[in-house]
C-alpha cells in the first residue's frame, strides 16, 4: 500500500452505493472539500451516470487542493445482493473497482455507502485480513456521557463465534488506544446482565477466554445496554446482529426524544421569547447528538482501510464519512494498528518464553 503522508491522501469512493447515490456522494464532496486538505478522490462508477455530477462538483471544488478522477465501473451491486454473489461476479462493480484500487496501491482507503455485506466480502477477499484475524468487524465511535466509545461489530457479522468476539475485543482495544489516546482502554462484552451466568453461549464462552487468556490490558467484563450511552467502557464488543440493532435503536431513541421536545415547544401567548430561546438551546444540543456526525465506520481487521457510510446518508452525513476516512488514512491507522498487534504478539511470545 502507498504510505499515507500529511501531504496527500487518496480515497477510492464507490459512487453508486447508498440510497441516494450518486447525487449524495458528489454533494457530500462539495460540502466538505474545503476541510479535506490535499486529497485525491477516485470516483468509481458508471461514467454516463456520474458525469454531470462530476463536472458540477469539479466546478464547486476548484478552489481547494482536491483532485477528482473518474474510474469507470461496469455495474452496481444492489443493496440486497448476497455477498457471495458480489464476490463471484461483481468485482467490476463501482464497489469492486474502488476496493481494487486500494489493493493495487492506487488509493489509501475505500469508502462506500453501499451493500455492507458486499463491501465486507470484497474487502476480505481482495485486501486480505490482518494476521490471525478471521473476520472483519464494523467499528465506529459513538458519543457517550463520558466522551466517546468504540462500538463493534455494527453489522458485518450477523452471526459470530466466541473467537470472533475475542478478536473484536483485541482489535477494538488497539483502535481505541490510537484514537482515544488511552494506553489501556477498558473493553467489555455486551450482554443481558453483568452476572457470569447471564447471556447466550457465545458471549459466555468469549468471556471465559478473555478471563483466562488475559489478552486485554483492561477487560471490563459484561456490559448491559444502559452502559453504551453511559460510556462505562471505552470499547463495547458485541455480535453484528445485536450491534446493528443497538446502533439504530440509539438513533431512533434520540429522534424520539427530539420529536417529543419539538412537539412540546410551541410558542404560546406571552411565551414566544422563551420558546425561541428553548428552540435555540435544543437545536444546539441535538446537533451534537445527530447520528450523521458520527457517520463513517471502519471495517476493522482488514489489512487495509475500508470505511462504510450509512446507506441512508444525506450529503452532510456522507461528508462526515469522507472527512473521517481522510483523517484516519492520513493518520496511517492501519499501519499503527498493525504495529500494536505486532508489538503485542512479540510481547506475548516473550512472556510465554
Q: Which residues bind a second copy (CB under 8 A)?
A: 79-82, 117, 144-145, 155, 158-159, 190-193, 195-201, 203, 224-230, 238, 240-242, 244-261, 264-265, 271, 273-274, 277-278, 281-282, 284-285, 288-289
Cα 173 from Cα 185, distance rounded (Å): 6
Q: Are 207 and 196 in contact (CB under 8 A)?
A: yes
**Minimum CB–partner distance for residue 234 and a second copy (Å):** 16
Q: C-alpha cell of 139?
A: 467499528
Tell me the closest approach of the beta carbon of residue 286 to a second copy, in angstroms: 8
Burial of 289-311, coded b for 16+ CB within 10 Å and e otherwise, reads: bbbbebbbbbbbbbbbbbbbbbb
Least Å distance, CB 272 to a second copy, is 12
246 vs 307, which CB is nearer to a second copy?
246
| Contact call for residues 164 and 154 (beta carbons, < 8 A) | no
CA triple 217-222-225, angle to 5 deg: 125
Sign for the pseudo-dihedral over CA of 95, 140, 41, 339: negative
**How far is the C-alpha of 283 from the C-alpha of 301, rounded, in Å?**
37
CB 348 to a second copy: min, Å: 31
Least distance from a second copy to the Cβ atom of residue 204, Å: 9
CB of 137 to a second copy, least distance (A): 14
Residue with cell 456490559: 223
- The alpha carbon torsion through 279, 324, 112, 312 (nearest 10 deg) reads -10
User: How far apart, in Å, are the Cα atoms of 336 and each of 303, 332, 339?
Assistant: 11, 6, 5
- Please report how close the Cβ of residue 207 comes to a second copy at its closest, in angstroms: 13
Amino acid at each position: 500500500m502507498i504510505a499515507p503522508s500529511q501531504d496527500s491522501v487518496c480515497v477510492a469512493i464507490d459512487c453508486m452505493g447508498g440510497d441516494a447515490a450518486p447525487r449524495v456522494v458528489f454533494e457530500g464532496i462539495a460540502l466538505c472539500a474545503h476541510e479535506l486538505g490535499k486529497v485525491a478522490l477516485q470516483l468509481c462508477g458508471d461514467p454516463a451516470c456520474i458525469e454531470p455530477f462530476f463536472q458540477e462538483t469539479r466546478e464547486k471544488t476548484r478552489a481547494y487542493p482536491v483532485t477528482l478522477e473518474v474510474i469507470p465501473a461496469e455495474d452496481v451491486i444492489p443493496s440486497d445482493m448476497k455477498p457471495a454473489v458480489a464476490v463471484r461476479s461483481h468485482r467490476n462493480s463501482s464497489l469492486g473497482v474502488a476496493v481494487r484500487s486500494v489493493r493495487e496501491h492506487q488509493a489509501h482507503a475505500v469508502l462506500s455507502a453501499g451493500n455492507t455485506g458486499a463491501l465486507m466480502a470484497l474487502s476480505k477477499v481482495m485486501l486480505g485480513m490482518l494476521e490471525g484475524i478471521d473476520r472483519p468487524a464494523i467499528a465506529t465511535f459513538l458519543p457517550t456521557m463520558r466522551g466517546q466509545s468504540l462500538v463493534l461489530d455494527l453489522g458485518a457479522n450477523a452471526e459470530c463465534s466466541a473467537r470472533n468476539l475475542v478478536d473484536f475485543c483485541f482489535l477494538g482495544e488497539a483502535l481505541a488506544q490510537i484514537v482515544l489516546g488511552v494506553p489501556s482502554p477498558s473493553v467489555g462484552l455486551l450482554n443481558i446482565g453483568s452476572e457470569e451466568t447471564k447471556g447466550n453461549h457465545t458471549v459466555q464462552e468469549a468471556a471465559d477466554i478473555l478471563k483466562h487468556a488475559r489478552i486485554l490490558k483492561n477487560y471490563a467484563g459484561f456490559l448491559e445496554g444502559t452502559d453504551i450511552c453511559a460510556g462505562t467502557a471505552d470499547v463495547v464488543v458485541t455480535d453484528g446482529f445485536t450491534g446493528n440493532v443497538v446502533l439504530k435503536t440509539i438513533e431512533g431513541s434520540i429522534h424520539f426524544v427530539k420529536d417529543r421536545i419539538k412537539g412540546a415547544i410551541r410558542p404560546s401567548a406571552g411565551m414566544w421569547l422563551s420558546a425561541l430561546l428553548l428552540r435555540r438551546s435544543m437545536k444546539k444540543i441535538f446537533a451534537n447528538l445527530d447520528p450523521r456526525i458520527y457517520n463513517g465506520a471502519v471495517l476493522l481487521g482488514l489489512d487495509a482501510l475500508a470505511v462504510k457510510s450509512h446507506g441512508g446518508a444525506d450529503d452532510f452525513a456522507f461528508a462526515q464519512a469522507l472527512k473521517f476516512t481522510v483523517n484516519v488514512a492520513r493518520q496511517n491507522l492501519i499501519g499503527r494498528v498493525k504495529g500494536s498487534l505486532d508489538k503485542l504478539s512479540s510481547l506475548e511470545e516473550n512472556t510465554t518464553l
